[in-house]
Amino acid sequence: MKRIKIDRSKCIGCLTCTTACIVSHDCVDNRSRIALSSKGKYAPIFCRHCDKPECVYTCMTGAMRKNPDTGIVEYDKNQCASCFMCIMACPYGVLKADSENNREIMKCDMCQHTESKNPQCVARCPMHAITLEEV
């Protein structure tokens, strides 16, 4: 299984990763699926696609599920009841409500909709601080 990792010593807080995410997902409200830590300098916090994801366990409808083949925690907006239990359960604070359609959840999907081998935050990081690594 692959996860997005960041080397904070290389990150300069330029937020190119968030812009790449916004462009990749064609977000009209300019909101990224990447959460930001503002301690000292802005730095991205990525969905960890946990082995035992709390967002999946608290989802009463099955809208959040862990793909057994890829290891990615996936979200199906058509099954979502908009209870936001997944947001409250995430220990990393990386899930958020979509401000355009407040009934949907925004989370990292590893840019599965693109033809690229890497998520766009990884591909576009000018400092190569963000990598996709096998864990």
Please report, for the domain that includes residue 118, its CATH number.
Answer: 3.30.70.20
Beta bridge partners of 74: 65
This prediction's pTM: 0.88
What one-character DSSP code corresponds to residue 45? E
Would you say residue 90 lies in a domain? Answer: yes
Is the pLDDT at 7 greater than 90? The verdict is: yes
Q: pLDDT, tens digit, for every residue of 23-60?
A: 998 887 788 899 888 777 788 999 999 999 999 999 99
pLDDT of residue 42: 80
Would you say residue 119 lies in a domain? Answer: yes
What's the domain count of the chain? Answer: 1
Is the pLDDT at 115 greater than 90? The verdict is: no
Would you say residue 134 lies in a domain? Answer: no
Distances (CA, A) of 48 to 20, 30, 52, 89, 125: 19, 22, 10, 14, 18
Would you say residue 63 lies in a domain? Answer: yes
